[in-house]
Amino acid sequence: MAENNTELAVIGAGPGGYAAAFAAADLGKEVTLIDPGENPGGVCLYRGCIPSKTLLHVARLIGEAREAKAWGVDFKEPKINLAKLRGFRDEVVAKLTGGLGRLVQQRKINYYQGSAVFSDNHTLQLDSTEGKTTRLSFENAIIATGSQPTHIPGLDPGSGRILDSTSALEIKSIPKKLLVIGGGYIGLELGCVYAALGSSITLVELTPQLLAGVDRDLVKILEKRLGDRFDQILLETRAKAIKEQKNGVRVTLSGPDKKKEQTRLFDGVLVAVGRQPRSDHLKLGNTAIEVDDRGFVKVDLFRRTAEKHIFAIGDVAGQPMLAHKASHEGRIAAEIIAGRKAAYEPAAVPAVVFTDPEIAWAGLTETDAKNSGIDYQTTRFPWAASGRAATLGRSDGLTKMIVDPHSERILGIGIAGSSAGEMIAEAVLAIEMGTNITDLGLTIHPHPTLSETVKEAAEIFHGLAPHVYRPRRSRKKNR
Q: What share of the chain is helix, strand, coil (3-state, %, to 5)?
A: 35, 25, 40
Residue 234: CA count within 13 A, CB half-sphere: 20
Among candidate residues 57, 281, 447, 462, the one labeled active-site is 447
11 phi/psi in degrees, rounded to 5: -100, 105
Q: Is 445 a catalytic residue?
A: no
d(CA 50, CA 44): 6
C-alpha distances in Å from residue 254, one per residue of 154, 201, 262: 18, 17, 7
Q: Is residue 359 helix, strand or coil?
A: strand
Contact in structure between 462 and 438 (CB atoms under 8 Å): yes
> How would you classify the pairing of strands 177-181 and 200-205?
parallel
d(CA 436, CA 430): 8
Short-list 228, 244, 242, CA closest to 273: 242
Buried b / exposed e across 205-224, counting CB within 10 Å, b at 16+? beeeebbeebbeebbebbbe
159 phi/psi in degrees, rounded to 5: -80, -15
Active site residues: 447
